[in-house]
Amino acid sequence: MNQQLEERRSVLIEKLGVFFEKEHHLAPVAARIFSLIILSGKKGVTFEELVCRLKAGESTVSTHLESLQLHNKIEYFTLVGDRKRYFIVNKDLMLNSLDELQKQWTEQKSLFQEVLSFKKECMAEDESGEENFDLQFQKNFIAYADDILQSISKLKSKIK
């Protein structure tokens, strides 16, 4: 890999690492390991490469590799005649993440539908004729949630 691509990879490993620390609550070294594995693609990354590239201790890398495997973020394969393990992103990770996202949005949509229903009942009970609630926000959110759920379903079908 040429020097320019190598520099871009290093910057991207750091950016992804910070993202995974914040958004997925990974430890800093685990986040960098995961980032490096993502950027290595199907060929995988060996333990030795991780130690060397990240300038981290062997026990630290080993501990975080075990954690990432335990949380189904990565897996490994071996090659015939080669004692090394090659770490790659778990093939099911994206589908599992989308399933979780779909579950969260379905729960939020359901909650907002319940709020909307409650507000409508309150307004029906109110004999003054005043509209005590603005229902548009709940209606807009439910429509937005429907769009997101539909998009997630499309993406899942493309991945499969």
Quote the pLDDT of residue 42.
Answer: 86
DSSP for residue 60: H
What pLDDT does 125 receive? 83
At 134, is the pLDDT very low, low, confident or very high (cuts 50, 70, 90)? confident
Q: What pLDDT is attached to residue 149? A: 97
91 in helix, strand or coil? coil
Residue 123, CB-side half-sphere exposure with 13 Å CA sphere:
12
pLDDT at residue 131, rounded to an integer: 72
pLDDT value of position 129: 65
Give percent of the chain with pLDDT exceeding 90.
Answer: 84
154 CB-near residues (< 8 Å, 6+ apart): none
